Structure 1
Amino acid sequence: MYVPPHFQENRPDELHRLIREHSLGILVTGHAGVLDANHLPFELELSGEKPLLRAHVARSNPVWRESDGEEVLVIFRGEHAYVSPNWYPSKHEAHRQVPTWNYQVVHVRGRLKVMDEERFVRGVVGRLTRTHEASEDKPWKMSDSTPEFISGMLENIVGIEVEISEIVGKSKLSQNKEDRDRLGAAERLEQLGSAELAGAMKAAGE
């Protein structure tokens, strides 16, 4: 990924936040000269000796057989939006602005390991469920279904783990613009409902 110095995102807390809050990652793999991409919800684990990503795939998905032990790329993309030059105050003075697209993205590289054990898969599913059901009035939990049903479902998926070797972040938030232009664009995005991206743009000048 091309990352100009002014768009580099090096803050660990922000990188981890983006992964956790935008956890549907794109797992990019290569096999026999062909690239493949799978969209999977991941969990980030930082408590061990090395940071990890964990997920599961359908047993019928060939990716776990083809990519076991291979280097992979996982992409997490935060909120993104088109930015009109009309939102920059300076545009109306000098007419020297062009359209762009602002976004935040994290690329994670590491080696994939297949974890085809029922205990591992059950743990991943349980934790992902608790995380994403937390906002529900009555969160769904695995015990809502019969043990036989859940066991049958777990037999149809395979766990994967990515041992992280590199995390590269890019926050393209109009840092290369005048403060008034960056803030003008942020205010317009906030009006349009892109609150997270607008907030990140405002904070980029702090």
Structure 2
Amino acid sequence: MRHNPRHASDDPALVRRLVAEHPWATIVSQHDGDLVASHYPVLLDPDHPLALLTHVGRPDETLHGFGQGAAVLVVVQGHHGYVSPSWYVPGASGAPTWNFTAAHLHGVPQVLDAEENLRVLTSLVAHFEQHVDDPLWLDQTWGAQAAQGTVGLRIPIDRFTLKVKMSQDKDETSVQNVVDALRRPGPYEHPALASDMERARRERVGLPTEKD
């Protein structure tokens, strides 16, 4: 991503929050002279400062060359949406733009053994089923069979680039106008992005967030 100090952050806590809130990731590697990308859910490893747990379906592990010591790029993206300069205060300069949060995470995947893979599969199911009215609790016998078609991964992140672009370069009135516009019904309605902007504004001025 193009570096912009106003939008950049080196805070691993913000990366962990992004992964927790948006656990659908793109895994990119270069293998046999080709670029390979796959899309999978990820969880944070609770036993590591910053590492991802996931699994891929076979034969993705062969396509990526996992287990051969090569690093991968994992892209995680938050809410994003279009911002019109017509929403700024009169006379404020600006071009059409896009607000977003995105992280580029780099690390070398570790291939898990069968026991760890089943544990990760069980954790993934439990995590995403927890808010279902009648949640599925993975039967371990069935899960062990299903896990045979997957390869579990732990990806310790050794470096990352995080960009939180939420109109930080605009005056407070324009920022509020953008938030209001994103909450209005219409083609650009995006209340979740508006909430991200409000949270970024609170954090920027040192106010507590809703979860503090």
| Both structures adopt the same fold (TM-score exceeding 0.5) | yes
2:156 paired with 1:163: yes
Alignment match, 1:154: 147
Aligned residues: 198
Query: Where does the alignment leave 5 or more consecutive residues of structure 2 unmatched?
Result: 206-212
Asked if structure 1 preserves the Cα contact closer than 8 Å seen for 2:16 and 2:50, the reply is no
Alignment match, 1:98: 95
Alignment match, 1:184: 177
The 5 A counterparts of 1:195-206 are 195-205=191-201, 206=205
Task: List per-residue Cα deviations over 1:13-64 (Å, max 9, x = no partner).
Answer: 322111111111100100122111100111111433x532111111222447
Of residues 122, 126, 132 in structure 2, which corresponds to 1:130? 126
| Offset of residue 125 of structure 1 | 1.0
Q: Which amino acid aligns with 1:67?
A: F
CA distance in 1 between counterparts of 2:63 and 2:122 reads 20
Alignment match, 2:210: none
The 5 A counterparts of 1:59-98 are 59-63=58-62, 66-68=65-67, 69-90=69-90, 94=91, 96-98=93-95
| Cα 1:131/1:110, change in 2 over 3 Å | same
CA distance in 2 between counterparts of 1:153 and 1:84 reads 47
CA distance in 1 between counterparts of 2:10 and 2:175 reads 20
| Cα 1:45/1:97, change in 2 over 3 Å | same
Query: Where does the alignment leave 5 or more consecutive residues of structure 1 unmatched?
Result: none
Of residues 137, 140, 148 in structure 2, which corresponds to 1:141? 137
Report sequence identity in percent. Answer: 28
Alignment match, 2:51: 52
CA distance in 2 between counterparts of 1:21 and 1:13 reads 12
Alignment match, 1:119: 115
Taking structure 2 as the reference length, what is the TM-score of the superposition? 0.85
Taking structure 1 as the reference length, what is the TM-score of the superposition? 0.88
> Does 18-27 or 65-74 show the bigger shift?
65-74
Pairwise CA RMSD: 1.9
CA distance in 1 between counterparts of 2:129 and 2:148 reads 22
> Does 73-82 or 132-141 show the bigger shift?
132-141
Which of the pair is proportionally richer in strand? 1
Asked if structure 1 preserves the Cα contact closer than 8 Å seen for 2:106 and 2:160, the reply is yes
Q: Which amino acid aligns with 1:84?
A: S
